[in-house]
Amino acid sequence: MFIGHWAPAFAAAAYSKRAPKLGTLFIAGQLVDWGFFALATVGVEHMRIEPGATAMNPLDLYHMPYTHSLLGSAIWAIAFVVVLLLARRELTTALIGGLVVLSHWFVDLLVHRPDLTFAGGDSKIGFGIWNYPAIAIALELGITLAAFLWYVRKTKGPVMPPWILLALLLAMQSINWFGPEPQSAGIGLYLTALASFGIAAWVASWVGTTRRHISDRGLAGASPPR
């Protein structure tokens, strides 16, 4: 998954006015991948390019116990909860953010070939939907668009900002699917991935400042950012 990881971010923002702001939720949705590419940059976790690894992409994610094990993802989620608690002093807000972090592993479970683990051991799992492009494309677009439309329906504010964000996400996903495949795994690929996550989170943060939950009173820009 790529933009599909931001579906839980949209859904959380739509579900509760006590959720973190959208930019924070976008960081949460991809926090596990932020961690993976940061750790890969310093040689702690590893990937390589293997043409034909799956029908959708050539990524062989062969060593990522600290980010893409269920236990590792849970630790990242707990750390995010702690950070939000320290920043906001609001348990519900923190728990929603942590759940969005943890959602990453379960979304990946659907599409990855068996390269995920429960606790970093040798037994690996993954349902492999990336080997079925029509299903994978429909799934990623379907969950993202459904969550986005729910977010738009459950928030109020200027019309254009969320649609600008959606256009950006669709453009990124198109490049991910139809752009040239990477020839090797290395610092350039890792930094490109991190930059794409950062750009999406930055635009989502801007969108979040223009909107507030429909159950809130007052103007869209009146609430402080979370």
Q: List, for residues 140-182, the tens digit of each pLDDT value.
A: 999 999 999 999 999 999 999 999 999 999 999 999 999 998 8
Contact 33, 67 (CB under 8 A): yes
Give the per-residue pLDDT at 11.
98
Give the per-residue pLDDT at 222.
44
Q: How far apart are CA 210 and CA 213, in angstroms?
A: 11
Question: Which H/E stretch holds residue 16?
Answer: none
Of 19, 24, 17, 15, which Cα lies nearest the Cα of 6? 24
CB atoms within 10 A of CB 113: 20
- Find all residues with CB under 8 Å of 175, minimum gap 6, and list them: none
CB atoms within 10 A of CB 153: 10
Q: Is the pTM higher than 0.85? A: yes
Give the per-residue pLDDT at 220.
43
